Structures are given as structure tokens and as C-alpha cells.
Structure 1
Amino acid sequence: MNIRLDNLTVNFDDRFQLDEINWQLDDSQHWVITGANGSGKSALAAILAGAGEHVSGNLEGVPAKVGLVSFEAQAELIERERKKDDADIMDVISEGTPVHEILSEDGRNPELVNQLVTMFKLDTLVDRSFRKLSTGESRKVMLIRALASEPDLLILDEPFDGLDAHTLEMLQQYLATLVETVPMVLVLNRFDEFPDFITHIAYVDHGRLQHQIDRNNSDAYNELYKLLHLKTTDLAVPAADPENDIPRLDPTQPLVRLSSINITYDGHRIIDSLDWTIERNQHWQLSGPNGSGKTGLLSLITGDHPQCYVNDIFVFGFKRGSGESIWQIKQFIGYVSTALQWEYKVGTGLRNVIISGFYDSIGLYTKATDKQKQIADEWLALLGMTDRADTPFNKLSYGDQRLLLIARAMVKHPPLLILDEPCLGLDDMNRQLVLALIEKICAGSETSVLYVNHHPEDQIKGIDNYLALEKK
């Protein structure tokens, strides 16, 4: 078996589309497809079972006998049974098809069916109507149907969901006995459910196959673990420390209002008569080419630009030039940039890096409270870095440092979090890690996010306001 998907685009009833998939599977490989809910991982597996309308590209080498277990296939079987119920036409009550008939369809090996029925402890249910089974029992029937078909390719979409601990262990052990004879593709959310025999991992996001990883590549595997952890974990953005509360802002006023803003360098106007308002709980993406004024615009907001006082700027309740200090403004802002990362070259442990965000310091020079330590540990759990709480910051990878600095900027829950090109210098995997964390922050806090990048099309779920600057 050698399955090839070459630049394949597949449409699923105009509800979802997989785009430009390039993927190759051979009979010595066993794959897990993973990704967040709605990413397209189940759709990718379904392609191999014949689902979807091929829009463009090629699919070759799929064997004739494919065993499939999925919630969609289960729902189709249940719907088929419902259509058999002709009680509205005939004055009888339909009992539905018994389980043993469901399992004997399509010439399945009867000895193997009986063996699997016993393994799954369904002996007492084979005469019962399929429609009268519980969700977990009907799931077991689906598994037996697929396994007893003796397929050339086995596709299992979340096969362990709804199974008790004993059945789950039994199924994993049985699948391990098929490793030498049947290539498998499993769709799974949880890393801790990946069977030991899995050789490769495919990560799907927004309808695209983003990463293909050999499980033996430990570095790539660990990066993917962190990405999936951020995408799928139930952990929420940790709460702020009530003892380090930022002064309350007037809820009727915007966070930022810039009116007819001009920025000029050496007689050349970079920004000309720009009006921009950032309301509370709004998330913005600011984009534009080099030299379009992105950094200058940010520094007007943070108070670091020398032309602050010749412009009409209202930030966090202050009219610039009315006697406020720069620190009165900065207390309401969390800031992450490549320049900050260059400056943050200390050997402080990861927990203390996050705690330093309470004090806006590089390094920690104040004794942390128990509450601050607790919040920092919650952030480490969210990032999947609990086991590295005392690891020196300067020993981290470039991408992990960026994640820590975003957590540091967010730890005090500032009204405005400014992320100035946070993906600059990151490879694709680390870029997706950072974007996943930003999505988590947008969804789980009252902080307004201002995300700055070069590419307006590089959108983040939760950000629906856009300002694109042009180079003058």
C-alpha cells in the first residue's frame, strides 16, 4: 500500500474544505491525525474512506477494503436503522435489526466476529436491536464491524471515546497485534492516548495539513505536544492577583483614542491624519510594510514617542500632556517585542520570569507572594511547562522564550496587551504556538489584544478588528 495525496482539495457539502493536502502513507507506517476541534482532522481521515467531493489534486493508492470507525459512520448506521422502521405504514412496532445481523453483513469472518464479540463482552447483546444499545455499546459494535472486515487499511476516529478503562486497554492491546499486517490511521485529540506503535503524526489546522512528524524526532514531537496542549487544553487563562490590582478605568471611556495623528521624520510624514479608537474588550490586528509607521504608532500609545505631546492622544483616562507620568500609562499595558526578548538575557527561572511581570522588571528582585507563585504555576501549566518551573530562562529555545514573555506580559491582566510582531524570528511550529496562546488570551480574558504583524491575512481567531498601514 502506498497512498498519495497530491495537492488535494476536498469539499464537504459546502460546510468545510480541506485545502492543498500533500501526504503520503505506506504500509509500514501507522499515523495519528491530531488537531483542535474543527481543524479538519476527521475530514482528512474521511477522505481515505471515500468521503468528500474532490475539487482539485489527486488521491491515489487507497486500498479497496477500508475499515472505518467514526461518529459520522455510527450516525449513518443509526439513521439507516431508523429508515427501516416502517411503523408509520404498517400497524406493527419495528424492533429494528439485531446486533448479530449488523455484525454479519458484507461477508465478515464469522469466527473473528465471535471472538471480538466475546472480547468486547457483547455476548448477551447480540440478539438486541442495534437501536436499543447505549452509545458505548453501539461504539463497540462499530469497532467489531471494522476489525472483522479484515481491512487493508484501518481508520479509527476517536476510537477510545466512550469506552470504559478495561475495554480501552483491551482495544489498545488488540490493535498492537495488528501492527505487522494492517496499516492504521487514528484520529485522536489526546497525546496520552497515542498508542506506542504509532510511527508518524499529522497535525491539521484550519483545513490544512500543517505538520507531518516522525515520532522518533523528539524535538519536533515535543513542540507538537505543546501546540496541541495550547489548542485543546481545558485550562483557562489564569486570574489576576487581587493584591496587585491595576486601578479601575472608567468603563464608559475607550482605552485609546487617537485623533488626526501625524508622525513626521526629517520632514517626511509617516502617518497622516490617522483616527483610531480602541474600545474595551476589542482585539485588533495592526499590519503594514516596513516603514509604514507601526512601531511609531505603538510608541504614541505607550508614551515613548517624542511626538506624543504634539498629537491629540487619550489613553487610559489621561489626555497626553495633562501632567500624567509615563509610568501611570505603562501600568495599564503589557508589552512583548523582539527588542524586549533581546534585553531579557537573565538566568532567572521560568516561574520568576512570569512573576517579574507583576513588577515590570527584567529579572525578579522582590520576594514573590504565595499567590503570585500560584498564578505563575497556573501559567506554566497552561504552557505545558510545569516540569521546567526552575529552568533558567536563557536556556530555553527562542520560541519558548517568546511564550514565557507573553505570559509575563499578561500576568497582571493589563487592559491592553501589545504584541509587537511576536512571531518574528520563529519557525512555523513556534509561530503556531505563539498564535495559539494569543487565541487563548483573546478567548479567556478581558484584556484587549493589539497584535502587530506584517501580514493582514495571518488572522487569529478572536481578533476581528483590523488596521492596515501603508508606506507613504
Structure 2
Amino acid sequence: MTASICLQNLTVNFDDRFKLSEIDWSITSDQHWVITGTNGAGKSALGAVLAGAGEIESGTLSGVPGKVGLVSFEAQAELIAQELKKDDADIMDVIAEGTPVREMIFNDCADPDLASELVEKFGLTGLLDRAFRKLSTGETRKMMLIRALSSKPDLLILDEPFDGLDANTLVMLQEHLAAIVDDVPMILVLNRFDEMPAFITHVAYVDKGRLSHTVDRQDETAFNELYQLLHLKTTDLDVPEADPASKLPDLDPAQPLVKLKNIRVKYGDDVIIDGLDWTIERGQHWQLSGPNGSGKTCLLSLITGDHPQCYVNDIFVFGFQRGNGESIWQIKQFIGYVSTALQWEYRVSTSCKNVIISGFYDSIGMYTKSTDKQKEIADQWLALLGMSDRADQPFNKLSYGDQRLLLIARAMVKHPPLLILDEPCLGLDDMNRQLVLALIEKICEAKNTTVLYVNHHAEDQIAGIENFLALSKAG
């Protein structure tokens, strides 16, 4: 391959089942890529497009070489379908055995010597005369790898090539790929970063049918952020359990967490909120949006008890009717709160681990000796965030996005009934924004804490949040 492969504003339809949209991507002959993303994101579709799959609706695809070697589950299924179709012809009175493996590999083989070598290495010698469709899934995978590798491709596309391989075969395949990196550019589709071969130079991250990020592996910061995002998106780690010793008082499960009735807030002649009714039930995640001046911050302070007009309004929170003698701390113990203002305040030079532990004490910094259980829970949160190796790093030396993740973990350690995230993506670039949103999705999935996500844009939605309140600016 001499020229670059270029995808410009490319939209591709796959039989109306899936669509890749507005893809911009350039691949040069000296690059080896991994395409990654969550299940259903479109990573396999993006690889398949380079092998001619899909119907181009708009944009351009150019520079794809003449011979593309492809191994994928879809291509595997297609081969099996072709074999079954031979039976449908029903031209004989005997049951068709199907095409033997030997024929599948060596017919039209560009490099028979390499094919023979790989057949032996992959342990298929004894299966050459067996019908292809009688192979196991793993054996079929091996056969397809042999076909692709021995076809002398100008471009090699391997979709989850290491799936289903035993340990010895996996090592052998990785060694073979490393040996041919100077001869053929490769694109691997992988779910797991830890399977990424050392020769990979670039990473493409696909999300919801769009190419969200392309990262040069030499860019350590960007690569680590993408690793962290994929970790949060695909890990089977769950939100850590709460510390029984820090258990909050039980709330009446029959009562809503928050109930605001006919709320009116005004400053002089300026009416900020007028006639608002709003109920937040347990487990009912909400997105609160609206422009500056629409009353978002005012509404939050009514819930937390920080607004002076909360006592002249009909407000019921966590079983308390506001104005009946409860203290502000009786209210706030049930709320986890993260905002840009908190991040500005949290400037003490303490470790990442201690930032999380400080959530048990609602403090800025650590002034009390932590328990072994609290340390264990902090370690679990660091593992969830993909930050275990940074437990002892100073908080104030981290990126803005990593600080935000830690403050969310700090707010969650006691599993508050309500977590308020006030503009949690403010000031973050797109990658760090995706990290924060992925963590919020994890918290929503856990179903222990009700999330109230506050932002400017109603269209900026998060999986798991299905209730929306959009405020408009008065006047």
C-alpha cells in the first residue's frame, strides 16, 4: 500500500441495521491501528467498511488497496452460510459433506509454503480433510487466520483475532504479526486494551457509530485517557460497597427523596422561579438543564438548604418538611455534591487515595486517621477509575479531568441517597468529558444512589438518565 487510505465525512448503511456516520479518518502505510469501543459501538463495522462492506450513503472512501485480508465473525458467518447454500441446491441424493478444509485454505492461495507452515503451527494438520462446516468455532477461526495471512494482503484487518485461541496459539499469532509489521499495514479490532500488540502505533475509538477519537500511541497523556475511558466503559467492576460503619440513617422508602410544590423565588421584582412542582423519587435519575440565569443553582440550593427562601416555600426533602426545626446538616448528610466550586476549594496537597477517603468525613483533606475498611473501599474506587497506580500521587498534580473523577468517587463513598453533579463536565475537553459521563453511567447502573445531573444542554444526555427538567430564563 503506497498511498493513504482516506475516509472523508463518510456515512455507511449496513442493511438498515446499523449506520456509521460522518467518519473522518486517514491511515498511512507506516501505521498499524487498533479500533476499539464498547459492544455495539460500530468498531467491527468500521473495519468491515475497508473490506468493502456496507452501502456508502455520503462522503468518500479512497486509497483502499486491491487485496484486503479480513478475519471477522461476520466473514466467518458468511462462509458458513455459503456452505449451507450448497446443500440447498439439492442436486444429489446423498448428503453433501461440504468443502474440505484443505481446499478452503490452499485453493487460490498466494503463499502455499506459508499456509503449510501456519497449518502446522495452528494445529490443523489432522483436520485438512475434514469438512469446513464440521470445524469448531475456534478451529474455523484458525482456518480463516491462515487464509488471510497467506493471501499476501496489502492490508490486513483482524476483528478480535485473539478470541477463542488457547494460550500457546495466541502467543504464536502475536509473534507472527510482529514479524510481518514491515510488510503489511494492520488494523485490529479489539475490546481489550491489554491485548494490544506492542507494534500498534495508533488507536481509533468508536462510539455510537461515530469515530470519536484517534490517538497516537506516542502521545502518552491521550493514550492513558483513552485507556481509562475504555476501562470505565467495558470493565465488569461495579461501584464499591459502602462502609457499614459509615452507614447513613434509613429513610422512609414510601416517601420521595425531594418534593417541591408551587415553588416561587424572587429577588425584588425579579422572579427566578415561579410555580414549579417537582418530585424526585428514589432511583429516578434526573437531568436538570437550562441556560445561565434560568434558576438551576437556585433550585439546587433550595434542595440542599443553602437558599434563604427555602423556609418560605413548600419543600419536603428526605422526610423533612423544611422550616420544622431540622438542621442543614441533617439534610446534607443524605447528599453527595460535586461542582467546579468544590474542585477550586480542594487545593490541599493530599494523595488521590486520601481524597476519596475524605468523603467519609465530609472534609477538604484528611485530618482523621482512616480505617482499614475505608482504605479498602478507596482502593476499590481507584480500581474502578483505572487509577490504582496513582493512589499516592498528589491530587493537585493531576489533570483537571482526573480530579473531577476523584471528587465524584469522594461524594459516593457513603452511597448517599442523592448525588448532585453540578456541571460536572465544565472546563473539560471532550476526552475527559467522556470519562466523567462514563463514570456517571456506572453510578446510574448501580441503582443505589439517585443521580441529579445538572448542565446547560438538554441534548447532552447520559445512558441511565430518563427524566428531564429543562428550565428557561425568565423574561
Q: Deviations over 1:268-310 (max 9, x none)?
A: 1111111111111111111111111111111111111111011
Aligned mates of 1:264, 1:50 — CA distance in 2: 62
SS of 1:57 mapped into structure 2: strand
1:279 matched to 2:277? The reply is no
The residue that corresponds to 1:93 in the other structure is 95
Aligned mates of 2:247, 2:471 — CA distance in 1: 34
TM-superposed CA distance for 1:88, in Å, is 7.1
Aligned mates of 1:167, 1:265 — CA distance in 2: 72
1:353 matched to 2:355? The reply is yes
Match of 1:214 among 194, 213, 216: 216
1:147 matched to 2:149? The reply is yes
Quick check: 2:352–2:391 contact (8 Å CA) kept in 1?
Answer: yes
Q: Which amino acid aligns with 2:51?
A: A
Match of 1:395 among 397, 401, 405: 397
SS of 2:114 mapped into structure 1: helix
Q: Which amino acid aligns with 1:311?
A: N
TM-superposed CA distance for 1:86, in Å, is 4.4
Quick check: 1:86–1:94 contact (8 Å CA) kept in 2?
Answer: no
What are the equivalent positions in structure 2 for 1:130-279 lying under 5 Å apart?
A: 130-279=132-281
Q: Which amino acid aligns with 2:41?
A: S
What are the equivalent positions in structure 2 for 1:335-414 lying under 5 Å apart?
A: 335-414=337-416
Q: Deviations over 1:76-125 (max 9, x none)?
A: 11222222234977543332221111113444432222121112111011
The residue that corresponds to 2:119 in the other structure is 117
Aligned mates of 2:37, 2:47 — CA distance in 1: 12
Quick check: 1:87–1:93 contact (8 Å CA) kept in 2?
Answer: no
Q: Which amino acid aligns with 1:312?
A: D
Q: Which amino acid aligns with 1:274?
A: L
The residue that corresponds to 1:303 in the other structure is 305
Aligned mates of 2:363, 2:184 — CA distance in 1: 57
Q: Deviations over 1:147-168 (max 9, x none)?
A: 1211111000110111111111
What are the equivalent positions in structure 2 for 1:12-161 lying under 5 Å apart?
A: 12-86=14-88, 90-161=92-163
Quick check: 2:109–2:147 contact (8 Å CA) kept in 1?
Answer: no
Quick check: 2:155–2:184 contact (8 Å CA) kept in 1?
Answer: yes
Match of 2:334 among 318, 332, 335: 332
Aligned mates of 2:194, 2:336 — CA distance in 1: 34
Out of 310-319 and 358-367, give the one that drifted further: 358-367
TM-superposed CA distance for 1:247, in Å, is 1.2
Q: Which amino acid aligns with 1:64?
A: G
Out of 435-444 and 77-86, give the one that drifted further: 77-86
Out of 176-185 and 86-95, give the one that drifted further: 86-95
Aligned mates of 2:373, 2:50 — CA distance in 1: 51
TM-superposed CA distance for 1:322, in Å, is 1.4
1:291 matched to 2:297? The reply is no
What are the equivalent positions in structure 2 for 1:427-438 lying under 5 Å apart?
A: 427-438=429-440
Quick check: 2:318–2:331 contact (8 Å CA) kept in 1?
Answer: yes
TM-superposed CA distance for 1:244, in Å, is 1.2
Quick check: 2:109–2:150 contact (8 Å CA) kept in 1?
Answer: no
Aligned mates of 1:190, 1:259 — CA distance in 2: 49
Aligned mates of 1:76, 1:262 — CA distance in 2: 64
What are the equivalent positions in structure 2 for 1:435-454 lying under 5 Å apart?
A: 435-454=437-456
Quick check: 1:353–1:363 contact (8 Å CA) kept in 2?
Answer: yes
Aligned mates of 2:58, 2:200 — CA distance in 1: 30
Aligned mates of 2:81, 2:255 — CA distance in 1: 54
Aligned mates of 1:412, 1:352 — CA distance in 2: 15
Out of 12-21 and 164-173, give the one that drifted further: 12-21
TM-superposed CA distance for 1:13, in Å, is 2.1
Aligned mates of 2:254, 2:62 — CA distance in 1: 60
Contiguous gaps of at least 5 residues in structure 2: none
Aligned mates of 1:272, 1:90 — CA distance in 2: 81
Aligned mates of 2:107, 2:321 — CA distance in 1: 77
RMSD: 1.4
Aligned mates of 1:220, 1:361 — CA distance in 2: 32
TM-superposed CA distance for 1:445, in Å, is 3.3
Q: Which amino acid aligns with 1:405?
A: L
Q: Which amino acid aligns with 2:100?
A: P
The residue that corresponds to 2:426 in the other structure is 424
SS of 1:257 mapped into structure 2: strand
Aligned mates of 1:13, 1:467 — CA distance in 2: 37
Aligned mates of 2:103, 2:77 — CA distance in 1: 18
Contiguous gaps of at least 5 residues in structure 1: none
Q: Which amino acid aligns with 2:32?
A: H
SS of 1:202 mapped into structure 2: strand
Q: Which amino acid aligns with 1:241?
A: D
Quick check: 1:237–1:445 contact (8 Å CA) kept in 2?
Answer: no
Q: Deviations over 1:189-233 (max 9, x none)?
A: 211211111111111112111111111111111111111111111
SS of 1:361 mapped into structure 2: coil
TM-score normalised per structure 2: 0.97
SS of 1:20 mapped into structure 2: strand
CA 1:321–1:88: 2 relative to 1, 3 Å: farther
SS of 2:308 mapped into structure 1: coil
| Equivalent residues, number | 472
